[in-house]
Amino acid sequence: NFSLHANVLTEVMRTFGDKFNLWGFSMGGGIALWAGAKLDSGLIHNLTVLDPVGLTQKSLPRMGVDFFVVQGLRGMMDPTTRAKSFHQTSREKVDVHLFLLGAEILRKQQIDVEMLSKVRPEGEFRMVLGVNSPLIKEQSIVQMLSEAEDLRGERGESSPLKLFRLH
């Protein structure tokens, strides 16, 4: 789960002993959210996440369709992506065990509404949705954000969140 990654991230940040502007995309976004909610968020000045995974649950078959079919078709339509994919797969052997382990991490919900309501960087908290990741459910995430804002309000906390939607 994200806790191992977030713990390593926090230890690296503590080693440098400074406040960080933390940015994460996809799985990195989920890890950054987890770190911001569970760990010493005093290390995080500004937090920006793009299409973070870990906020919703997906079945393995659904994830396979979304990731391989949807994303694969998008990639095949773009000549640059097609060339990069061909070059990468022609020189690298894929470790199926690590691949399936990664898929298992990505498909599980690891951040709930309560955790999301506890993400409180010292500066800004920006979430960007709409980068066209097949791994996220944008509508579900927007609903979770709304519920997290309600929890913050019940605790008398102001909202640090700025939501951006790209379309």
Q: How far apart are CA 123 and CA 125, in angstroms?
A: 7
Query: Do residues 85 and 79 touch, judged by C-beta distance below 8 A?
Result: no
Q: Buried b / exposed e across 94-112, counting CB within 10 Å, b at 16+?
A: eeeeeeeeebebbbbebbe
Q: Decide: pTM greater than 0.85.
A: no
Q: What is the pLDDT of residue 47?
A: 94
- Mean per-residue pLDDT for 109-118? 91
Q: How far apart are CA 58 and CA 135, in angstroms?
A: 8
Angle at alpha carbon of residue 28, lines to 65 and 116, rounded to 5°: 95
Give CA separation, 110 vs 27, 79, 113, 114, 139, in Å.
11, 35, 10, 11, 17
pLDDT digits (tens, 9 = 90+) for 58-94: 777 766 666 666 666 666 666 665 555 555 555 556 6
Locate all alpha helices (DSSP H) within the chain, ordered by sequence. Answer: 2-16, 27-38, 60-64, 72-77, 79-91, 96-107, 113-117, 138-154
Q: What is the largest CA-CA distance in the chain?
A: 55
pLDDT digits (tens, 9 = 90+) for 20-46: 899 999 889 999 999 888 766 578 899
Q: Please give the single-letter amino acid code of residue 41.
A: S
